[in-house]
Structure 1
């Protein structure tokens, strides 16, 4: 089970506020975070929660979370085909789900959650599952991820989420380093979305349309009737700063290889070169052949000189 310190840090990341436990500092001035306010603020980015991370809020963790429905997906390596609300449900393998206390919080009952316990099939009246990531900047991050109704929405004004966990993780998940245990985590919201009010503008993207000109109360009513966060997913990941400096291989950790300096001298061994003279030049002979030719010339020269001496000797006799 995730301890209280991690839960408070996750709430701070999602809400954009520095949140303290109510029992830890009961005399601390500031607003108290309720379940309803947290649900609305994480979607619309406004409500009783300030958009500045510097502000302090108090919360009773036991009133916001429901550990009875926590689920540890970190040890699961193989997914089973599941359906929720007649839509494929991508189970969050590798994540830990901290369940929010949402039972009996809405006037239409709990049918949208479906029955308790493990099952692969969908139940009548159950809503499908969608995912959304947020950021440390609270409402500012929600606008960036198209989760809040706004004028920048690419496919119509409304609230955006996705049934694909990998897409939410890649595009929208927030990474933070815990001050409680020093580990690094990613955070994603897990929601249920009303299929009767949902549109599918593009593949793997779901939209709850929100018309312009509505009051805050009217938008809040749309949110409560259409999309409801029911869990917070966290996953331990490697610190980006550590991964950029250290390379891990198996059970060993080694420093990254240092590339050679561009100014360091380099020793280059050229390939062997074969020289072929042009066709109009005589081909050079080997050294042994040259020595043989030289000896032949000497012998001929000695014979020639002997012949000359013989001729001169004959001339002297005649005279």
Structure 2
């Protein structure tokens, strides 16, 4: 997700924070912050797909509606990667059906944030010194992913990965054969998040900032060849 330069992103996010963000539910997911192992067992109904800790990401929660937990009861958490140039238009308007339809027509998402963090889905942006701000104080690279909710009845396809990972394990919690979802767009050109009958809604913005290219993170080993000896750390402030 991105709209112009990093500073522009910060300014526009501040505006959204005043009207639609829900800071009470902002989270940092990692040891020492919000963290759990295995599928989360907190008594909430998130449909038929387990919810695993999105370690290494910071979540900015959106105010969807006043009765959010009632509205999304039984709705699964999934993720949608995006390009920087598309980000603001997605947040303000909604999601379009995919142009590349390996598993058929619809909106593509995944229960795995590790999968959608691949650069094909979630663009990696280098942060210049001039673009650093109070929004991103440190770090050299940034990625954004949309956290979404979808009811299982709108999930048309549960399919395999399409990035050529073959037998390489992408996400230790989610099998490669069930890592891509196709969501029914109900014949709409854009699924508006504000539509009460929307098949998918956006509940948060996930951000990952690192001090080196994220290809060097341990969880990115499946991206392909990379130089040996390189390290990467996640930055939370």
TM over 0.5: yes
1:82 is matched with which residue?
Answer: 40
Offset, 1:112: 3.5
Does residue 148 of the first structure (1) align with residue 123 of the second (2)? no
2:51 and 2:66 mapped to 1: Cα distance? 23
Larger Rg: 1
2:21/2:62 contact within 8 Å kept: yes
Runs of 4+ displaced beyond 6 Å:
243-246
Does residue 73 of the first structure (1) align with residue 29 of the second (2)? yes
2:60 and 2:199 mapped to 1: Cα distance? 21
Does residue 194 of the first structure (1) align with residue 142 of the second (2)? no
2:107 and 2:47 mapped to 1: Cα distance? 19
Offset, 1:104: 2.5
Q: Describe the superposition over 1:20-46 as per-residue Cα deviations: whole angstroms up to 9, x where unpaired.
A: 748xxxxxxxxxx9xxxxxxxxxxxxx
Does residue 220 of the first structure (1) align with residue 192 of the second (2)? yes
2:124 is matched with which residue?
Answer: 175
Offset, 1:248: 6.0
TM-score after normalising by structure 2: 0.61
Which of 42, 61, 65 is equivalent to 1:103? 65
The higher-RCO structure (CA 8 Å, 6+ apart) is: 2
1:88 and 1:20 mapped to 2: Cα distance? 32
Does residue 208 of the first structure (1) align with residue 183 of the second (2)? yes
2:85 and 2:2 mapped to 1: Cα distance? 12
1:238 and 1:20 mapped to 2: Cα distance? 19
1:223 and 1:148 mapped to 2: Cα distance? 17
2:74 and 2:205 mapped to 1: Cα distance? 19
1:198 and 1:245 mapped to 2: Cα distance? 39
Offset, 1:74: 2.6
**Secondary structure in 1 matching 2:152:** coil
Which of 110, 119, 132 is equivalent to 2:80? 132
* Structure 2 residues not aligned, in runs of 5+: 160-177, 217-225, 232-237
Question: What is the RMSD of the two structures over their aligned residues, measured on CA atoms?
Answer: 4.0
Tell me the number of residue pairs that the alignment of Structure 1 and Structure 2 aligns: 183
How has the CA–CA distance of structure 1 residues 215 and 149 changed in structure 2, closer, same or farther, with 3 Å as cutoff? closer
* Structure 1 residues not aligned, in runs of 5+: 1-9, 23-32, 34-57, 114-124, 250-319
**Secondary structure in 2 matching 1:65:** coil
Offset, 1:182: 4.2
TM-score after normalising by structure 1: 0.47
2:2/2:84 contact within 8 Å kept: no
Offset, 1:179: 1.9
1:11 and 1:65 mapped to 2: Cα distance? 17
How has the CA–CA distance of structure 1 residues 17 and 195 changed in structure 2, closer, same or farther, with 3 Å as cutoff? farther
Q: Describe the superposition over 1:123-155 as per-residue Cα deviations: whole angstroms up to 9, x where unpaired.
A: xx320110111111217x98xxxx631553222
1:65 and 1:211 mapped to 2: Cα distance? 27
2:148 and 2:189 mapped to 1: Cα distance? 24
